[in-house]
Structure 1
Amino acid sequence: MPQPSFLAASLYVALGGGTGAWLRFLVGRAWTALIGPVRASEFPYGTLTVNVLGSLFMGLLVGWLARFGSHGEGTRLVLAIGLLGGFTTFSSFSLDIVTLTERGQLGMAAFYAGISVIAGISSLFLGLAIMRHAA
């Protein structure tokens, strides 16, 4: 099956990404409706939910594609990169760690997990500090 053009690939990712982001929004709204805005603001229930579900769905998708065939690059772009990427990038992060682990690169998987968490959180603090001092 031929590779989609850059424009087609971009449209696949945008379509899936927009849908995934909208679904993430709906999960947050559902938690707020279910437990109320005060309780929903006390813990990131929505984020935890999409991270766990996104990782589950990524595992199911990758396993399905491996078992039954890729069905073309468009399918991977829409579902894995777009939909699940828009729903949660944590699912891609989880897939990267599992891929490194399955390749026998346990040290690299641990390094990637650690540096991603530490650098991500540190960068957020840095961004906040920069903006607080700029004000």
Structure 2
Amino acid sequence: MSSPHSPAALPAPTVAQAVAAVAAGGVIGAWLRYTVATAAPIAAGSFDWTTFAINVLGSFALGALISYLTQRRFRHPLWRPFLGTGLLGGFTTFSTYAVEAQSLLRVGHAVTAVLYLAGTLACAVVAALLGIALMRRALRA
């Protein structure tokens, strides 16, 4: 028998509902990213610590979120698209990270570009795994 909070008790969202959830979360996430980026601007042709921090923090949050949503019985079907794809997808900015790496290459900072690409990717993966592990531990407690 399913509880009132189990996924079986909730109807599957329509495509329109899922798209609306992603769009609403994306607006909030992009606004947050814009707010952080404008509060901590960087000089052109330098390592963008702001984008790096946004992507690593967003990866940590996504790992924790997915861990939470997959381990809890209450999983409304719109939380994942709203928070994961929408909010955190809008907050993180891996497309900007790629453009910034290209810009570093254009101005002759190849070593910085490689460090930026590899460092962001490695730290984002570690952050996501850490988010998963810490959420699992918190949910067991």
For Structure 1 versus Structure 2, the TM-score category normalised by the shorter chain is 0.5 to 0.7
Q: 2:35 maps to what in 1?
A: 26
Whole-angstrom distance in 2 between the partners of 1:61 and 1:69 = 14
1:43 to 38, 42, 47: 47
- Normalising by structure 2, report the TM-score: 0.55
Tell me, what secondary structure is at the counterpart of 1:82?
helix
| Structure 1 residue 89 displacement after superposition | 5.5
Instruction: Give the distance between the partners of 1:3 and 1:55, measured in 2 at CA.
Output: 27
What corresponds to 1:104 in structure 2?
none
Q: How many residues align?
A: 88
Larger relative helix fraction: 1
Inter-partner Cα distance in structure 1 for 2:27 and 2:93: 13
Q: Aligned partners of 2:24 and 2:35: how far apart in 1?
A: 17
Structure 1 residues 86, 44: CA separation in 2 closer, same or farther (over 3 Å shift)? same
1:69 Cα deviation from its structure 2 partner? 3.2
Q: 1:55 aligns with which of 39, 46, 59?
A: 59
Q: Deviations over 1:8-28 (max 9, x none)?
A: 111100000011111111111
- 2:23 paired residue number: 14
Whether the 8 Å CA contact 1:70–1:76 is kept in 2: the answer is no
Q: In structure 2, what residue type is equivalent to 1:65? A: L
Unaligned runs of 5+ in 1: 33-39, 91-119, 126-135
* Counterparts of 1:53 and 1:19, CA distance in 2: 16
Aligned residue in 2 for 1:80: 84
When residues 46 and 70 of structure 1 are mapped into structure 2, their CA distance, relative to the original with a 3 A threshold, is farther
Q: Residues of 1 paired with 2:30 and 2:20: CA distance? A: 15
CA distance in 2, matches of 1:71, 1:44: 36
Q: 1:129 corresponds to which residue?
A: none
Unaligned ranges ≥5, structure 2 = 1-9, 104-141
Structure 1 position 84, deviation (Å) = 0.6
| TM-score after normalising by structure 1 | 0.57
State the identity %: 40
